[in-house]
Structure 1
Amino acid sequence: MEPDNPWEEFTIIAIPQAWDLEPDKQPECCIYRVPQNLRNVNEDAYTPKEISIGHGKENLKKNEESKLRCFLDACYRTKKTQGELAKCVQEKELKIRHCYAENFHEISKEDFEKMILLGFIFIIGHLWCTTRYPEENNIHEKVSDILHDLILLENQVPFSVLEELYNFAYRDLPNPHNEDNSFHKLVLDYFLCFWKDSYLKNVSSDDYNEIRKEERIKRRLPCATKLAEAAVEFKEYKNKRLSFKRVGYWKGDTTNRVIRNFMAFEQCHYPHETYICNYIVLLDHLTKTEIDVDLLVEKKVLDNWLGRDEAVVNLINKLCHQIVEDNHSCYHDISERINEHYMGYWSKIMASLKSQYFHDFWRGSITVAGILALFFAFWSFLRPFISLR
């Protein structure tokens, strides 16, 4: 006798809802913890020094008072009540949680909303004050430290929610440096306070798409010195919109921290579009000794703000620790062409001649003089026979 319900004999499979998934499996997840293998290489590069947003680092508990003062100042400046500002976060609480790979189960709903609200208001207030009074802030050491903390991978916040909070509270406040009062313009102006000479202010989506290729670097490139000996010429890239030449733009260890966090974000969120990782790997191929760095600096490919060439070699080489070359490098084509040239027969001959006889101006002059002397000697020898004819 068949059952009345044909599905009774089948096992019911429970399909989890979106809110039951682990944080890093949520489709909205975009803010990650630094992978442990990267953190082990350099713990300090991923640790905030002034401000922690959303994670409550023990060594930065004293800065919670700064966030609270900033929140009270925001209420006074924007004429919004604490409840009105809190509502902007409360309505997005679940969405915000899903943006983080970190598990916040141990934090209550109220504490999570408070933590996020104070962090969001601090970021907006810091950006607004820095761009509103750039002459007072952009050279301040602590302001610069906060900038570097806000770039760290684990210190990120959902941009869309941050923008909504800004539009609700700050959009109507006059700012002579931001005529349309847009949040995008505010963020851009903030970073340009520190990066006025960088390529970022002119980058366009068309330029970005030009470097999106799905190829692979098959062979490791020789170092810059060997390539130069093989008649490979290095030149400064004139299009500043795509130039990464300011590898040492920040002095000291800041370069290391900033680039490491960019690379960690790429590996977590864009594992097949790791442009910064690929570029650093390319530099690692080219810079094996101080002589390589000196050559690249001379050709204006790099700017060395770290002082010693050895420091640049160490910085670039260490940045590649625990970084695996992916299968979709945008430098595949040019690397293949360079390798083919370097391995070619004639390039080796030309390199040898250049290295031995035209290494510098004086050696080249002596070589030319020797060639001319040999020519005239040979001509003097042949001239009597030619004249007899």
Structure 2
Amino acid sequence: MGEIRSPYFSLGQYNYGDNSDIHSPYFSYGGGDYHGDNAEIHPPYSSAGDYHGDNAEIHQTYSSAGDYAAEIHPPYSSAGDYFGDNAEIHSPYSSAGDYLADNTEIHSEALFHQHISGNSYKAQQFAEHGKVTRHVRAALNYEQESDVCIYRVGKALRKSNKAMYSPRQISIGPIHNGNRNLRFMERKKYVYYEQFWKGRVSNEREREGAEDKFWDALEKDKDKIRQCYEDGSHEIEKSEDFLGLILYDAIFIFELFLKYNEDKDGEVFKKDSILKEPGLRLAIRRDLILLENQLPFFILEKLYDLLPENTKGKDTEFKTLACSYFKRHLPSNLPPAETTPKHFTDLVRSLLSFTRNGKSVEQIKSFHSATRLRQAGVKFKIPRERDCLLDVDFSRLRTEFYIPKLEIDGNTERLFRNLMALEKRLYPGQEYICHYINLLSILVVKPKDAKLLMENKIVIHNDKDAVRDLIYSLSSVHTIDSHSCYHDIFSAVDDYYKSSWATNPAYFIEEFFGNFWKGVATVSAAGLLILTSVQTICAILGLR
């Protein structure tokens, strides 16, 4: 999500792009401007209907109607202008109804002299003498941008590997609704919908009453539900169609989770048309974690609370029911965060990384691969008590590096890619999954590093090259900098490495005899040194 460091005010249609970063006041109303890719705006600009292309940059005052501009550095004022993704605005900006695209960054103040009506928060509360006061974001009623939690991943990520973010078996929510490749499961969803009402709600009168309650709850929160989805992420405009889809998919999820919870000896699975197929069960679970394939968690909780107690079984809270479904397949014994997750992707992140919550993020100064650390005497082990996948630790006293076991399968890359995409957008500064992948990428530089972790049962797989390639692929998904919540561990490891390498013969073996040519060079250098020493001694004796 975007970062807003000063007041933001708008009326009418809007669309704020991915990762918009707004450093100064911005006001807009009316119009429908679109600001293009990577535009950087620095000087005064005035235009009607201008198109500023990708990476456009204008360094001087520009005034035109319908002109195509490059990079803009000074104040900008326009109605109907087009700025691209990653637009960066460095000076005063004033516009009517502008469309701010992905990664928009505004570094300075905007002047706002228009009269705005129809909003309870008066414009004059923000502006004094033509200058907008800062740091009043908490007072704003306009919170749509902060509510967005379900969206399509960026174009660059989709282009790199679209299959990692798209459902293969089932569509949940509006973004992938209507995908013809998923029609098989639409029929299955209808079966579950009927089973839920006929099997769990005993008669038609009760069904009608329950459906009415569900629909009333959806109607009451329809605006809040829509605000969870990024503008332009789907094309379902009619309110009835949109809410009907949410209800339909929510009932499918309830029925699926309840059946999982009721299965004690596999009998439920055997009798069910979906659950009896292990491959289909696995595919559905994988699709339910995808970032683009979500329903807002708050509405699922609200609808679940409306169910009769005898329908819910032992799990009276939906979060508990959802955790029991996902934790079967996750290396985690953690409870979820106390706050309500935004959706299932967010819930899974919480189950994996909650122990990292509150950890400071600082720069890593030194890096050492797994084989280098082993040569210095570090032993890699699995912790005896593992709460979650991210619980990494280092004991300098015992020279033991504790890393929880990671089982790599066909879904590992999809899972981590979606969690990392979520963190980059919604959790800036708390990208704990990204930090974990960064740690693995530092340890596993070559296949021999992967082999070492595999030999110590930290990574479960049978192909060291595939493990190394997977970690490299994940670390290259997003630009991962050298800041990490594991900075203290890296610092402790580095201190030990520097103090122990000179006393460890394994270091010299690797450093000077690591391969054939290193060995030849070492022997040659040693021989030359010996011959030189003998020659020097002989010369000294000859002089006597």
TM-score band w.r.t. shorter chain = 0.7 to 0.9
1:48, 1:149 within 8 Å by CA — same for their partners in 2?
Answer: yes
Deviates more, 1:85-94 or 1:156-165: 85-94
Which residue in the other structure is 2:303 paired with?
Answer: 165
CA offsets per residue over residues 215-274 of structure 1, 9 Å max, x none? 32333512100111122232222331033434335x22x111111111111111112101
Partner of 2:114: 12
Tell me what 2:439 maps to. Answer: 282
Residue 147 of structure 1: how far off its partner (Å): 0.6
Partner of 1:68: 190
1:123 aligns with 2:253: yes
For 1:351, give the aligned amino acid. Answer: N
Cα contact 1:171–1:182 (8 A) shared by 2: no
Q: Which residue of 2 aligns with 1:147?
A: 285
Structure-2 residue corresponding to 1:193 = 328
How far apart are 1:326 and its partner, in Å?
Answer: 4.7
User: Secondary structure of 1:120's match?
Assistant: helix
Q: Is the 8 A contact 1:34 1:154 kept in 2?
A: yes
**1:290-316 Cα deviation digits (max 9, x unpaired):** 211121122333222xx2111111111
How far off is 1:190 after superposition? 1.3
Matches within 5 A, 1:211-360: 212-219=358-365, 221-244=367-390, 245-249=404-408, 251-252=409-410, 254-304=411-461, 307-326=462-481, 328-342=483-497, 344=498, 346-352=499-505, 356=509
Pairs aligned (count): 333
How many angstroms does 1:148 deviate by? 0.6
Secondary structure of the residue aligned to 2:360 is coil
Partners in 2 of 1:200 and 1:33 — Cα distance? Answer: 30
SS of the equivalent of 1:334 reads helix
* TM-score, structure 2 as length reference: 0.56
Percent of paired sites with the same residue: 30
Q: Indicate whether 1:48 and 2:205 are aligned.
A: no
Q: Which has the higher contact order (CA 8 A, sep 6+)?
A: 1
Q: State the Cα distance separating 1:17 from its structure 2 match.
A: 5.7
One-letter amino acid of the counterpart of residue 241, structure 1? D
Q: Which has the higher helix share?
A: 1
In 1, Cα distance between equivalents of 2:441 and 2:506: 28
- Decide whether the 8 Å contact of 2:367 with 2:442 is kept in 1: yes
SS at structure 2 position matched to 1:199? coil
Is the Cα contact below 8 Å between 2:236 and 2:242 reproduced in 1?
no
| 1:33 and 1:102 in contact (8 A); partners too | no
Alpha-carbon displacement from aligned partner over 1:185-206 (angstroms, at most 9, x marks no partner): 21122123334xx22356787x
Residue 35 of structure 1 pairs with residue 154 of structure 2: yes
**Does structure 1 retain, via aligned residues, the 8 Å contact 2:366–2:491?**
no
CA distance in 1, matches of 2:316, 2:366: 48
Partner amino acid, structure 2, of 1:140? P
TM superposition shift of 1:52: 0.9
CA contact (8 A) 2:213 2:306 kept: no
| Alpha-carbon shift at residue 16 of structure 1 (Å) | 8.4
1:94, distance to aligned residue in structure 2 (A):
0.7
1:124 positional shift: 1.3
Question: 1-side partners of 2:359 and 2:485: how far apart?
Answer: 5
Gaps of 5+ in 1: 1-9, 358-389
Q: Distance in 2 between matches of 1:111 and 1:129?
A: 27
Q: Is the 8 A contact 1:287 1:293 kept in 2?
A: yes
Is the 1:47–1:152 contact (alpha carbons within 8 Å) kept by the matching residues of 2?
A: yes
**CA shift for structure 1 position 117:** 1.3
Question: Partners in 1 of 2:258 and 2:336 — Cα distance?
Answer: 23
Change (3 A) 1:66 1:34: same
Residue identity in the other structure for 2:317: S
Distance in 1, matches of 2:406 and 2:463, equals: 14
Q: CA deviation at 1:45?
A: 0.9
Q: Distance in 1 between matches of 2:366 and 2:381?
A: 21
Q: Which amino acid aligns with 1:32?
A: Y
Provide the residue aligned with 1:95 in structure 2: 224
Query: Which residue of 1 is the match for residue 242 of structure 2?
Result: 112
Q: Is the 8 A contact 1:153 1:261 kept in 2?
A: yes
1:124-163 C-alpha deviation (Å, 9 max, x unpaired)? 1111112112522487221111111000011121111101
Q: 2:214 aligned to 81, 85, 89, which one?
A: 85
Q: What are the superposed Cα offsets for residues 327-354 of structure 1, whole Å, 9 maximum, x if unpaired?
A: 7521111112323433x2x533223456
Taking a change above 3 Å as real, the CA distance of residues 68 and 243 of structure 1, as seen in their structure-2 partners, is: closer
Amino acid of the structure 2 residue aligned with 1:182:
E
Deviation of 1:65 after TM superposition, in Å, equals: 2.7
Gap change, CA 1:336 and 1:24, over 3 Å in 2? farther
Deviation at 1:11? Answer: 4.0
Higher normalized strand content (fraction of residues): 2
Shift of 1:121: 1.3
Distance 1:213 1:153, change over 3 A: same
Gaps of 5+ in 2: 1-111, 121-139, 270-274, 339-352, 391-403, 511-544
* TM-aligned CA distance change 1:289 to 1:105, over 3 Å: closer
Aligned residues of 2:375 and 2:506 also touching (Cα < 8 A):
no
Which secondary structure does the structure 2 equivalent of 1:147 belong to?
helix
Cα separation, 1, equivalents of 2:195 and 2:372? 59
2:450–2:468 Cα contact (<8 Å) kept: yes
In 2: Cα distance, 1:32 partner to 1:24 partner: 16
- Secondary structure of 1:273 counterpart: coil
Q: Secondary structure at the match of 1:107?
A: coil
Matched AA of 1:191: F
Check 1:150–1:208 CA distance in 2 against 1; reply closer, same or farther (3 A cut).
closer
